[in-house]
Amino acid sequence: MSIKVIYFEKLSTASHEFIEAFKSPGTEVAYWDQLNDSQKELCLSQAQYFIVSAFPVNRQLLAKAPNVKLVLKTGAGVDNIDLIATDEMGIMVACTPGVNANSVAEMTIAQILCLYRKLIFVDKKTKQGEWLMFEHRPFMFEMRGKTHGIIGMGNIGKQVARLSKSFGTKIIYFDICRPSAEREEELGIQYVSFKELLSMSDIISLHVPLTPLTTNMIGKEELSLMKPNAILINVSRGKIIDEQALAQAIENKRLLGAGMDTFASEPINKDNPLFPFDNVLLTPHVAGGTCDALRKILEMCFQNIAKMEKGEIPDNLVKKS
C-alpha cells in the first residue's frame, strides 16, 4: 500500500527535486497547485500526510481528509494550522525548528544593511542615470557601534545576535523565556525590559511567533518610544506590527526606516500603507526561503514520515498550547 502525501505549496524545480530525492519507495506525492478541483477532493480523501508552509490548514480542510495522521510544517511558526482541530481529530503536527534560522538571520542583516546604505534607492537612481556619489553619504550608516535590540531569543534570534555582533553591534534583547545567565554570557547578550529595548535600540528586529500576546505587539505607543533614527525589521509575522501605525511613524519621520518581510495580509494588499516610502524595504515572505534551507527542511519532513510509518514518534511535535 502506497504512502499518500500532499505538498501544498507552490512547486519549484528545487522543491520537486528534493522531494523526489528524499521520499521513500512507495510514497506518492500530489502537488496541490497542479490539481483540479476533483483531483483535490480525491487526494484529500486518500492523504495520510500534509506538507505545508503558509497554506491554511483549517478544520474544513481536515474534515475532507479522514486519513491524515501528520501535518508537517516547513518552518517553526504554526499559526496557519488549526491546532485545536488537529488535536480534536487526533492528528499530529510537527515543525522544523531552527532549520531555516540562518536563512532568516542572514535576511535580517541584509535588510539592516540595505536600509543603512540605502541600497535599493541608490540602485534605482543609478539605473535612471543619476550619479548620487556624495548626496546620500551623510545619511548612510554603519552597523558598528549601534545597539541592536532583538525581540525573541529563540533559534533565529540567537543566530541574528551572532551575525550582528560580528559587525560590531551591542546586543540587547527581550523574551518572555529568558535564557540562563551562562547562555547570555556565552552569546554576549544583555536582557532588558520590552520598553527599555524600544527606547535604547538603534536597530530592532522581531523574531517571535504570532500568538495572542504578540499580535500588534508594535503599535502606535511602542513606535513612539523608539529613537527617531531607529530602524525596525520584521521577519516573523505581519500581524505583530500595526502596519497603519508604522506607516504614520515613517511619514512623520519618527523612524529612519523599516524592513518588512511579512504582512498582515498575504499576498500583500495593493493598498498597503507602506508602499509609498523609499525608506521601507518590502519583500514577499522570503526570509527563510533559501534553497539551502528548503533542502534540509524537506529532508526532515520525509524523515518524520518514515518514522511514522515505522510506528515511531516524529521529531519536533507541536503542542496545542
Q: Is 235 left (phi over 0), alpha (psi -120 to 50) or beta?
A: alpha
Active-site entry in 148, 207, 237, 243: 237
The yes-or-no answer on residue 16 being catalytic is no
Quote the distance between the C-alpha of residue 253 and its chain's center.
27
Active-site entry in 88, 142, 221, 266: 266
Those residues with Cβ within 8 angstroms of residue 95's Cβ, 6 or more apart along the chain or in another chain: 72, 73, 75, 76, 77, 78, 316, 318
The yes-or-no answer on residue 254 being catalytic is no
Active-site entry in 148, 222, 243, 285: 285
Is the N-terminal amide bond of 276 cis, ω within 30° of 0? no
Set of cell numbers at residue 153? 531569543
CB-based contact 179:153 (threshold 8 Å): yes
CA distance 287 to 290: 8
The yes-or-no answer on residue 285 being catalytic is yes
Task: Report the DSSP pairing between strands 49-52 and 3-7.
Answer: parallel
CA distance 236 to 310: 34
CA distance 93 to 74: 11
| Nearest Cα residue to 97 out of 70, 78, 69, 71 | 78
Catalytic residues: 237, 266, 285
